[in-house]
Structure 1
Amino acid sequence: MPFHIKAMRVAPRVVVVGDPGRARLLSSMLIRPELVSENRGLLVYNGTWRGLEITVATHGMGGPGAAIVFEELIQAGARAIVRLGTTGGISKEVSIGDFVVPTAAHYIHGGLFRQYFGDLTVSAAPCLSLAWRLYTKGLQRGLRVHAGPVVSSDAFYAEDRSVAEKWAGVGALTVEMECAALFSIAMLRRVKAAALLLVNGHLLEPDKRMVSEEELLERIKLGGEIVFDSLTSVKV
């Protein structure tokens, strides 16, 4: 059994979220959800969606901590992992309330990436077939969905307009904290990974945020349906 995720097994298809409240919300959408681990506040639920097993797990905030969860989920049986989370816009192409499917996750080399890969700078990219399913299913629901690179940052409060403009200048759409870790570890461990991100703020317009918690939760539930449908349509 892993050190931190105290679950004997998880489903091959896993949705990961940062917020335990979102884990509870998404698990309530499953058939017969069962809480199988709550060690360290990292909630893990097993259930089913359209007849297939699905796990919903909490990864917390930031790449290094999330990397531990991703590794242990894989040890417990995960073979396809999708991160469903929020992200801050840094490109004028995206607006609050839009969804983003990352095609890559930029990062600053160092820290956990140096410990995993040494001097190699690994391209952190998702599984194309899984990302494509997320993108097309979002469009089929009539949503504004963008596909493009995001930035995975380690320092939430170090982000400012100058940082946003620099990354946007090389094509990044939004900034978040965990996708680079997820994509890199998934490639290393030979499992599938992708992400669906909800834009709930914008670094170029800091006064604009998705202030309604009810609206945010409704968009997360909608994103959850897209993620569940995408995971259950992919072979693992």
Structure 2
Amino acid sequence: MSIPTPHNSAKKGDIAKKVLMPGDPLRAKYIAETYLENPVCFNTVRNMFGYTGTYKGEQISVMGSGMGMPSMGIYSYELYNFYDVEKIIRIGSAGALQDDVSVMDVVIAMSACTDSNYASQYQLPGTFAPTASYELVARAVEVAKEQGTPVRVGSVVSSDAFYGDNPESSKAWRKMRVLCVEMECAALFMNAARAGKEALGILTISDHVFRDEAISAEARQTSFNRMMEIALGI
């Protein structure tokens, strides 16, 4: 595919080797304007904002991924395979499944279960286990300790359905000690594995599936600072 792509107006060299990817493009804009020095917008196609700037002297990009694995699949694939990106760190929201995981907790996704058929494209003779880069997981835990931010590390589930029709599905994942549910990590981890690159998911709990706990859409956009600062510090 030629560059720019149908989804990204950036030219070769406009995007850093490390990219932070929130689902919400407005969160990408917030991160760029709040944390990056001299951010330059490299993409506005479909309002999926992307910016490159520096953080403590290091060049970093931040770009929205959109909602769901098909959208994450497109953007992360292009970044890895067309723009020479080496590391993508998803920073997003998730719904807690366990009693000891609460709203605003930070979860580092070590692996991503999924109900998606995304892996079928690889025609594997079994079930693929999408996992994050160990080096990025270890570094994220170290940075969180340095910053004084408690984190949970474990398995998450990436679901294709936000409004699922099976009321028992969340209970089944909860039974397997999956920490939380989100919608993008599994596709990101698979694209990274296929491209020989690195990926990580850092999530902030925005609501609880089994308790009446949730924060507003505005708070999701602007108040996940601890998660963002861990990702920037890696």
TM over 0.5: yes
Deviations along 1:7-28, whole A, 9 cap, x unmatched?
Answer: 1131101000110110111111
Give the secondary structure class of the aligned counterpart of 2:60. Answer: strand
| TM-score between the two structures when normalised by the length of structure 2 | 0.91
1:72: Cα distance to partner?
A: 0.8
8 Å Cα contact 1:210/1:216 also seen in 2: no
Flag the 1:130–1:4 CA change in 2: closer, same or farther, 3 A. Answer: same
Alignment of 1:2-17 (within 5 A): 2-9=5-12, 10-17=15-22
Give the one of 16, 20, 32 matched to 2:25.
20
* 5+ residue gaps, structure 2: none
Number of the residue aligned with 1:128? 134
Distance 1:57 1:117 in 2: 30
- Offset, 1:180: 0.2
User: What is the count of residue pairs matched by the alignment?
Assistant: 227
In the alignment, which residue of structure 2 is the partner of 1:83?
90
Q: Tell me the amino acid that sits aligned with residue 93 of structure 1.
A: D
Q: Residues of 2 paired with 1:159 and 1:55: CA distance? A: 37
Compared with structure 1, are the counterparts of its residues 96 and 166 closer, same or farther at alpha carbon in structure 2 (3 Å cutoff)? Answer: same
CA contact (8 A) 1:31 1:49 kept: yes
In the TM superposition, what are the counterparts of 1:101-140 in structure 2 within 5 Å?
Answer: 101-108=108-115, 110=117, 112-140=118-146
C-alpha RMSD of the superposition? 1.7
Distance 1:174 1:31, change over 3 A: same
Letter in 1 for 2:30: L
TM-score normalized by the length of structure 1? 0.90
Q: Could you say which residue in structure 1 is the equivalent of 2:161?
A: 155
Match of 2:79 in 1: 73
Q: Secondary structure, in 3 states, of the residue corresponding to 1:148?
A: strand
Query: How far has the Cα of 1:160 moved from its partner?
Result: 6.6
Go from structure 1 to structure 2 and tell me whether the alpha carbon gap of 1:89 and 1:214 turns closer, same or farther (over 3 Å shift).
closer
Which of 100, 103, 106 in structure 1 is aligned with 2:107?
100
Letter in 2 for 1:226: I
Counterpart of 2:137, as a letter, is A
The corresponding residue for 2:40 is 34
Corresponding residue number in structure 2 for 1:53:
59
| Contact 2:86/2:198 (<8 A) preserved | yes
User: What letter corresponds to residue 141 of structure 2 in structure 1?
Assistant: Y
User: In structure 2, what is the Cα distance between the partners aligned to 1:58 and 1:189?
Assistant: 20
Q: 1:186 aligns with which of 186, 192, 199?
A: 192
Is 1:195–2:201 an aligned residue pair? yes
Q: Which residue of 2 aligns with 1:229?
A: 233
- Shift of residue 127 of structure 1? 0.3
